[in-house]
Amino acid sequence: MFTGIIEAVGEISQLHNNGSDIRLTVQCHDLDMTDVALGDSIATNGVCLTVVEFGDNYYCADVSQETIKYTGFSDYCTGAKVNLEKAMLPTSRFGGHIVSGHVDGVGHVTKIIDQQKYIEVWVHMPPEIRHYIAHKGSITVDGVSLTVNEITEDEFMLWLIPHTLEKTVISTYKVGTRVNLEVDVIARYLERLMQGGHGANNQAPQSDISMAFLAENGYLNRK
């Protein structure tokens, strides 16, 4: 599990095609590797990857064709910058939100507006995840835990402060840049609960959770 608080920015130094997958090597001079072991997870632009080889300032991971198909990894090349976060420890400060490292969809940047004290970034979201994204809710963009400040039918807007731009790859975004998106895991489980767990098996009981129940217990704003 991750928090979406980026620890370092790395650089892809090698991409080796093994036929069924790609062996990725990431240079990570600013990431503390002293507590990393084989099999550990490192979120790489929001994608949970397993370390199969590492040194003092690099690690290697195998990226499957399935991962490439459903993330922005199909656009990456040698020299590309990537956000890095090691899996959190039970004793870590929880600074962001619950991030699994499992990408739900790929969006793309539609507008970047300089507001002097912050940058306004608009992202087009895939239709299949729109209903999970809420105003003032959390979303992970290339592994960064961010707050949705405005939302339309097919786009959402983020406010990026200078610190975030300095410490992540978001400063390199341009109109058209494709980004990995992971929605809030609580939204996914809440939807499943409201559906009564249908899909897991044909014997799933009907859930007692309804919109009225959520409102009565303080989970929804009532006007």
Sorting pLDDT into bands at 50, 70 and 90, what band is 199? very low
More confident residue, 89 or 23: 23
User: What does the mean pLDDT of the chain come to?
Assistant: 89
Domain architecture of the chain: domains with CATH? 8-86 (2.40.30.20), 105-184 (2.40.30.20), 186-216 (no CATH)
How much of the chain, in percent, has pLDDT values that exceed 70?
A: 88
pLDDT > 60? residue 203: no
Contact yes or no for 53/59 (Cβ under 8 A): yes
Q: Supply the pTM of this predicted model.
A: 0.84
Amino acid at 80: A
More confident residue, 153 or 92: 153
pLDDT > 50? residue 204: no
* Per-residue buried b or exposed e for 196-220, using 16+ beta carbons within 10 Å of the residue's own CB: eeeeeeeeeeeeeeeeeeeeeeeee
pLDDT > 50? residue 168: yes
